[in-house]
Amino acid sequence: MQFKKVTHVLFDLDGLLLDSENLYTEAFTTVCAKYGKTFTWELKASLLGFQGQECADKIIEVLQLPLTRNEFLNECQKEYEVLFPTVKLMPGAQKLVEHLHKKGVPIAMATSSSQDSVNMKMQKHMDFLKYFHHLTMGSSDPEVTKGKPDPIIFLVCASRFPDKPNPENCLVFEDAVNGIKAANAAKMQVVVVPDPRIPADQLKDATLVLKSLEDFQPELFGLPPY
């Protein structure tokens, strides 16, 4: 299959580089259970790629929780403080990011998480963050006015490279359907490493679907091979 060559790479964080989605699920499940509600996979799947406040609003609405957005976020925060310091990198993440950095490929991170959330999750992986030219953190970035599937996070992130690449010269790595939609709307190619429970038909608009970052071949997109 023929893919267009790219010059710049944008990475999502949660569920793609960082094995954190199961920790979010654990936190949401614990908080919802306090009010006799069940946090389901169906609800989880609909939230992937959302910013924190958007997630809170939807969970409260769907499960009819007797909480305000801030009350829900504060309860989740207590769970995160216990869970997040234990989070690990996903298979292949270190190898790919390090490789692109060493070969001089400009890379950046476009995550829906906030600065505080990234700091908490990455406290044992600070060296890993040094590979990225910049981090765009949607939930705390004033220029990122909407969460995915809106394309703005990828457009803002790409605009912060010094040479301001055209969107079609950027490759996005994602794990979520909302991320695929956002990348497509930004006119960028997108490689997705999805949760295996996501139905194949929801991934049809991805440029390439992989089971693991370990399976990625950079040369397919004109990037330096391993």
pLDDT at position 12 is: 98
Q: How confident is the model at residue 48 (pLDDT cuts 50, 70, 90)?
A: confident
Q: What is the mean pLDDT of residues 52-65?
A: 96
CATH topology of domain 8-18+87-221: Rossmann fold (3.40.50)
pLDDT at position 62 is: 97
Q: Is the dihedral of CA 30, 35, 41, 46 positive or negative?
A: negative
Which of helix, strand or coil describes residue 203?
helix
What's the rounded Cα separation, in Å, for the pair 122 and 118?
Answer: 6
Domain 21-86 is in which class? Answer: mainly alpha
Q: What is the pLDDT of residues 113-132, one digit of tens each?
A: 999 999 999 999 999 999 99
| Domains of the chain by residue range | 8-18+87-221, 21-86
Q: How confident is the model at residue 23 (pLDDT cuts 50, 70, 90)?
A: very high
pLDDT at position 1 is: 66
Q: What is the pLDDT of residues 163-219, one digit of tens each?
A: 999 999 999 999 999 999 999 999 999 999 999 999 999 999 999 999 999 999 999
Please identify which of the residues 14, 141, 150, 175 carries the catalytic annotation.
Answer: 14
Rounded percentage of the chain residues whose pLDDT exceeds 70: 100
Q: How confident is the model at residue 49 (pLDDT cuts 50, 70, 90)?
A: confident
Please identify which of the residues 12, 141, 150, 175 carries the catalytic annotation.
Answer: 12
Structure tokens at 202: 């929801």
Q: What is the pLDDT of residues 141-163, one digit of tens each?
A: 999 999 999 999 999 999 999 99
123-149 exposure pattern, b = at least 16 Cβ within 10 A, e = fewer: eeeeebeebbeebbbbbebeebeebbb
Structure tokens at 56: 């809170």
Q: What is the mean pLDDT of residues 21-26?
A: 94
Q: What is the pLDDT of residues 67-110, one digit of tens each?
A: 999 999 999 999 999 999 999 999 999 999 999 999 999 999 99
DSSP-H helix ranges across the chain: 21-33, 41-47, 52-63, 69-83, 93-102, 115-121, 126-129, 152-159, 177-185
Whether the full predicted model's pTM is greater than 0.75, yes or no, is yes
What's the rounded Cα separation, in Å, for the pair 20 and 121?
Answer: 8
φ/ψ bin of 196: left (φ > 0), alpha (ψ from -120 to 50), beta (otherwise): alpha
- Concerning whether 14 is annotated as a catalytic residue, the answer is yes
Rounded percentage of the chain residues whose pLDDT exceeds 90: 96
- Concerning whether 163 is annotated as a catalytic residue, the answer is no
What's the rounded Cα separation, in Å, for the pair 90 and 94?
Answer: 8
